[in-house]
Amino acid sequence: MLKDWIRPLLRPLPQWSTIAAAPPSTIVTATLRWHGQEADVTADHTVAALKPLVIATSVDAGEQPVLEYRDSVSGSLLGRLQLQRCGSVATDQHTIALYQVSAGEHHCLAWPQRQWHAWLQNRSMLKNRQPQHLGMEPQAVQQLMIAYLCPRPVVLVSVSVPGHRNIFPMDLIGPLQRSGLYSLALRSTNISEPVMREARKVVLSSVPAAMKATVYKLSEHHKQPPSDWAALPFPLRPSHEYAIPAVAAALHIRELQIVHSERIGSHTFFLARVSANEKLADGEQLHHTAGFHQAYRRQRHAPFVEV
């Protein structure tokens, strides 16, 4: 009996929660603050690399801004990241600021649980290093989870040129609103990375939450791209402009013209223009958020729908 009661206390919260949410998710707002100034960056910040952990935005927020995440209904502060300017990426028309995360804290759990779960999670990370974290230090993974307080939509990225085709999941993606650009952060070791740099065209299918298992399966075979589009376990449709195969059941299909790519630590950071935007259906898209965010929602009797 005592064991049943004590076991959940000794188990760390899951790092990630896969949820169903209608896009674009504005459940959490993100604000940059610096020298008495502020800018809403809910649709204007993305992760540019994991190692080091770098945030990109089209707002020039000085040298050491703070990025705050708040629940958009209650206004409660959920978490904050301390940023340090580490460079910029320039296209012919825009400059995107790059900020390395230097510290972070979340307020989703009360004080003793916050420390306790972070300790349990860090211990578990050190014991079972996950390849998707690319050898990131536990502290950086904790900071990454804070960046996921704004639930991140999952897409399937299609690449197709003569001799190479691939379709794989990504969530380090999103608009940099003020510049009109769209960014993607892809591990530089991904087999499609050189093709994307060369062909400069990709198609993003926003996947319904019900496709979670299929999406994860694609990632398992990331070293062997499909030999034939017809071999995929779901129907495809050609994208509007590029005629690249996209997910037929997608909620939204975006065709991107890549205008710039650059290595940033572990990742290649792509900047693109949206050349076609097809909204196909209303519905709930697969998203990722932090496990402690779901715990926060659960305590308030408003959990996300987990898939």
Ligand X SMILES: Cc1cc2nc3c(=O)[nH]c(=O)nc-3n(C[C@H](O)[C@H](O)[C@H](O)COP(=O)(O)O)c2cc1C
Q: Compute the Cα dihedral for 132, 289, 100, 109 and give only its sign.
A: negative
Nearest approach in angstroms of CB 287 to ligand X is 10
Contact 289, 151 (CB under 8 A): yes
Q: Between 69 and 168, name the residue whose CB sits nearer to ligand X.
A: 168
In this structure, the number of other CB atoms found within 10 A of the CB of residue 195 comes to: 20
Residues 200-239 within binding reach of ligand X (CB under 6 A): 215-216, 219, 222-223
> CA–CA separation, 227 vs 165, rounded Å?
8
Specify the stretch interacting with ligand X by CB under 6 A; choose among 6-14, 142-150, 163-171, 299-307. Answer: 163-171
Residues 117-156 within binding reach of ligand X (CB under 6 A): 154
Q: Among 170, 203, 250, 272, which residue interacts with ligand X (rule: CB under 6 A)?
A: 170
128: nearest Cα among 116, 115, 145, 141? 141
Q: Between 75 and 131, name the residue whose CB sits nearer to ligand X.
A: 131
Nearest approach in angstroms of CB 133 to ligand X is 11
Per-position x/- string for 173-192, each x denoting binding to ligand X as judged by CB under 6 A, each - no binding: ------------xxx-xx--
Q: Among 145, 172, 202, 250, which residue interacts with ligand X (rule: CB under 6 A)?
A: 172
Nearest approach in angstroms of CB 113 to ligand X is 27
Nearest approach in angstroms of CB 301 to ligand X is 28
Nearest approach in angstroms of CB 220 to ligand X is 8
129: nearest Cα among 139, 137, 120? 137
Specify the stretch interacting with ligand X by CB under 6 A; choose among 27-35, 64-72, 77-85, 166-174. Answer: 166-174
Nearest approach in angstroms of CB 161 to ligand X is 18
> CA–CA separation, 145 vs 292, rounded Å?
8
Nearest approach in angstroms of CB 297 to ligand X is 20
Task: Using CB under 6 A, count the residues that bind ligand X.
Answer: 16
Q: Between 178 and 222, name the residue whose CB sits nearer to ligand X.
A: 222
Q: Between 120 and 191, name the residue whose CB sits nearer to ligand X.
A: 191
The sheet with strand 181-187 has its strands ordered as 164-170, 155-161, 201-206, 252-264, 267-279, 181-187, 173-176
Q: On the CB side of 199, how many CA atoms lie within 13 Å of its CA?
A: 21
Residues that bind ligand X (CB under 6 A): 154, 168-172, 185-187, 189-190, 215-216, 219, 222-223
